[in-house]
Structure 1
Amino acid sequence: MTQSAFRAKLLTFTGDPAQSPDAAVFHEDGVVIVEDGRVAASGAWSALKDRVSDGASVQDLRDKLIVPGFIDTHIHYPQTDMIASPAPGLLPWLETYTFPTERGFADEAVAADTARFFVDELLASGTTTALVYCTVHKQSADALFTASEAKNLRMVAGKVLMDRHCPDFLRDTPQTGYDDSAELIARWHNNGRQMYALTPRFAPTSTEAQLEACEALAKAHGDIFIQSHVAENLDEVAWVKSLFPRQRSYLDVYDHYSLLRRRAVYGHCIWLDDEDRRRMAETGAVAAHCPTSNLFLGSGLFDFAKAQETQMPVTLATDVGGGTSFSMLQTMNEAHKVARMGGHHLTATRMFWLATAGAAQALDLADKIGTLAPQSEADFVVLDPKATPLLARRTARADSLEELLFAFALLGDDRAVYETYAAGARVHSREQARR
């Protein structure tokens, strides 16, 4: 048994800070003890120091903060190279930049190179788990999983399904999409720390036949994830209404094909109505809120108050490349502002929960990731409150945990990530990256 210990300020969660004032657990002088890739214990140094074995490696990080690894619930790895591309809206952006870029992933070398860079960029931002969209090409998913497996990450990904309203070079069929997805599920789902997500891009780019194929796959594999987009943009909502006139709403299209359930994650969820939100709450389907993307593309403002009122599960996501940063700290920054525009105050403590334990709970992975609880997989991030002169000046004046976390969320980015660990192994070091 190999033991390592990390002494630092610690933050973890036992529940939603919006529901319980004691849900955020903070130790000014804490320790995480890791054995064979899992958390053996975490808590106050004074209470646990005798559990640190004589031969253990002990890192003294007392001037830094350890939090569970961030979980990004909606991101497109093929769009890494087209991030920050100008366009007047979602649909022109897809046609001008997204589809031409994704065409290149027919080349296995392009897919492999992008996947490696993408994974390293996630880790540099403190993200240890993500729900990742690949392209329509089967090899794009193989490339992403291979890059993730090399770092022993807990990753969820899937090949995109599109059989209409897209260029011919990105089009599959209901049968080929089914066959490729089934093959990838067999190869990657629950293979080590890799997990598969059935990935119809969004309702307009799948025929009824393809959505029926998705329904069959989802029923055959009850523990896989499902990911897609819903109600992001008003033009898109109107388009879906014209394509599926018999369904009550955009969300109802997915419900009709039995694609709302636990582990089903839908990006954006801006233009839902209360019945949609209640349906998501009833089924356990998750809304992945993507604030930087929604602002960049002018899609609209996510309604936190109504989501909370209906108890619809919500997580945070970057949505690169519509999103403009890989950093979950920067995503928190924009999420706070979006919430304020809707009259809702989103605390930093709750944003950290949404990006860690809250996401793990919503994804049905709370026994594996998202906290520093004993036996959880040892995925965590070391944050540096002195990463920049401004952050150092502000955090030195923080009088509470909320103020400290708020400074990280509003002033932090990848520079604040000192180290990232996956299954107890260091997979990113800021100091080494700078050399």
Structure 2
Amino acid sequence: MKEKLSILWGKDGTKSVLASLISIVIGMAVGALIVVLVGLLNPSMGLGTMWEGVRLVFGGLFSTGRDAAGQLTFGFNPTNIGNMLFRATPLILTGLSVAVAYKTGLFNIGAPGQYLMGTAATLILALSIPTETVPAPLVWVIAFAGGSLAGAVWGCIPGLVKAFLNINEVLACIMTNWIAANLVTWMFDRGSLFENLQNTVENTKTAYIYKTSFNGVETSKMGLDLIFPNSQVNGGILIAIVIAILMYILMNKTTLGYELKACGANRHAARYAGISDKRNIVLSMAIAGALSGAAASLYYLAGNTEFFWSTYQSLPATGFNGIPVALLAVCNPIGVIFTGCFMSMLDIVGLQLTNLTAYNEYITDVIISIIVYLSAFSLVIKLAISGSHRKHRKAAEPAPVSTAPPDGGDGTPEKGGEQA
């Protein structure tokens, strides 16, 4: 049993998971420390408020509010969990986008732009195709496929300039991000192609596009609304999990996945082995872009979210948040499911801190920042774990048995031993 545990402990995957868990624990601990420090520096907060803040940092997902006496209560909160799953859906897919590209030796920082292009294509198709003549479920499929395709096309651009011009994909992605932001803004602005999609029903809002439910197009709940009532959850989370499993199979069980990873390990060696490195670079970025576009499609096809089209001032955070999701999961497609849920859980924790205490949700942003910072040092943490493992094994190993012939103390072999 000890030998099996030692083998498991020595595996690189185990060390990677432990490094991520250590990053998460340290981040949560620092968040709790910040809660305490803010409480100490604010005279209006007492020890009770600080203790409530610490409890919410670690267990805010299961907070059920306050009882009649004003005390925090905890338990199964289906609304919080359902909202967490809804928020996790796009994070899982943008995390997959970054992870797949990273496995092939590319850093896809262009997920925000791909997400925006997927958003635009999804909304245009979902709101422009009349559901009076085309069934709403078919419109949903067309919009989802169109959003994924738009993201794939936008992801191809950095892949093409990387493959054929050897321009760094990070620089190309940054350019395509801002081109997408301004292009989408122009597409929905007044006097442009799709100004008719602006929400004119609710006059209190400006620069918003109709929800897809306005056209009767929205993702099926698939029974999840019965498990998590009063939440935004829908079948999108199940679709995201299926996509993550398919990406795991693609990257680890298929010839294409092997070729993609081979190009990531050594582009020139892969080419020498007969693998088309240029094709695989472009294909990798196309797959990454399609995943980001799919993230946008599932988020806005939920039918309960409006799109703020005036995006030229900032890029969608969901695209960038895919980076820590992928890093924490060590770019493992299955691990991305759990890290995506963890990151969305921190969003819920931030809302609970704001609604139930005198603290605000920005504390959780600090926690995420620390976790991301530590995940960048995951190699150092893995080396520390490896050093501890080697010391443990060395202490557990028995002393080596000498195979030299016995001697009588004067350096000559005893009687019966071999003669030189």
Smaller-chain TM-score bracket: under 0.3
Q: What is the TM-score with the length of structure 2 in the denominator?
A: 0.25
> Structure 1 length normalisation: TM-score?
0.25
Report the structure, 1 or 2, having the larger helix content: 2
Query: Greater CA radius of gyration, 1 or 2?
Result: 2
